[in-house]
Amino acid sequence: MSDQNRLGVFKTYKLYVGGKFPRSESGRVYEVTDSKGQWLANAPQSSRKDARDAVVAARKAFGGWSGATAYNRGQVLYRVAEMLEGRKDQFVREVAASEGLSKSKAAAVVDAAIDRWVWYAGWTDKIGQISGGANPVAGPFFNLSTPEPTGVVAVLAPRKSSLLGLVSVIAPVIATGNTAVVVASADAPLPALSLGEVLATSDVPGGVVNILSGVTAELAAPLAAHQDVNAIDLTGADPALAKELEIAAADNLKRVLRPGPVDADWAASPGTHRLTAFLETKTVWHPTGALGAAGSSY
């Protein structure tokens, strides 16, 4: 059969939850269009049940992921960069269509996203050195502070930066040992859903990252109020929604990372603030010159 007569195989986009690719529990989909309003694909319309399932998967994965060595987590993040590099052409097409960019500009965005994974991979075994250490105290004690991951983090992905911004909010969360439930940009979810396929083949344990697509407000509300979600990144929320979610998050004292400017420059150096945003400090006291049991406080 000649290429002129061949029908292309349309991609079926699915959620990424617990290392698997379920369709939405609701069975619903919604149309995703490009910057010119032309149809690109149907994306799953996640439900509140999907959000709860994602939290369960993230909690189940937390113990193993947070207990892995920082060096091992760095290896896994670097592997994500490797696999993303191998599928670069696909992501260039999806980013170009999602963000209305030329092929060359989309390629630059994908390159930056790959480099961002590598950058955070290099920080996994170093962030403890700058966010912890020995503390001077008055008395015959050693006093040491060490960072520990907060737990399950809900992440609202940026609305406009479908890949680079997405990577910039996911990578620091998992680099520090947290697990994530990510709500993709409602308008441009395709790169996020494809990223799930990359994660599944990159040694990232199932449940460490869970990716949902759909109406941001519909998914964010149950995540902000969920008692087993320990923190929430409001990057992708508009001001009105962010205020509502912050109030809901206060019910069980979640850590909240407030949204920055809508037109944030995701290509700029990210710094370390997102690495430390979802870390808790454990302080350990130990008497000097004694073999007695150590005391600790948080």
DSSP string over 136-197 = --SSSEEEEEEEEE--EEEEE--SS-TTHHHHHHHHHHHHTT-EEEEE--SSS-HHHHHHHH
The pLDDT-based confidence of 30 (bands split at 50, 70, 90) is: very high
CA gyration radius, the chain: 20
Count of CB atoms situated within 10 Å of the CB of 19: 17
The pLDDT-based confidence of 2 (bands split at 50, 70, 90) is: low
Count of CB atoms situated within 10 Å of the CB of 205: 16
Given this model, what pLDDT does residue 86 score? 96
Given this model, what pLDDT does residue 298 score? 46
pTM: 0.91
Span 69-104, pLDDT tens digits = 999 999 999 999 999 999 999 999 999 999 999 999
CA distances from 213 to 35, 95, 147, 151, 199 (A): 18, 16, 32, 22, 16
Lowest mean pLDDT of 243-252, 259-268, 269-278, name the range.
Answer: 259-268
Q: Are strands 29-33 and 39-44 parallel, antiparallel or unpaired?
A: antiparallel
Q: Which sign, positive or negative, has the C-alpha torsion 102, 271, 155, 82?
A: positive
Please state the domain extents for the chain.
Answer: 51-297
According to DSSP H, which parts of 68-160 are helical? 70-86, 88-99, 103-123, 127-131
Q: Which CATH number fits domain 51-297: 3.40.605.10, 3.40.50.970, 3.40.250.10, 3.30.70.20?
A: 3.40.605.10
Q: Is the pLDDT assigned to residue 296 strictly greater than 60?
A: no
Which one is predicted more confidently, 263 or 156? 156
% of the chain exceeding 90 in pLDDT: 80
70 in helix, strand or coil? Answer: helix
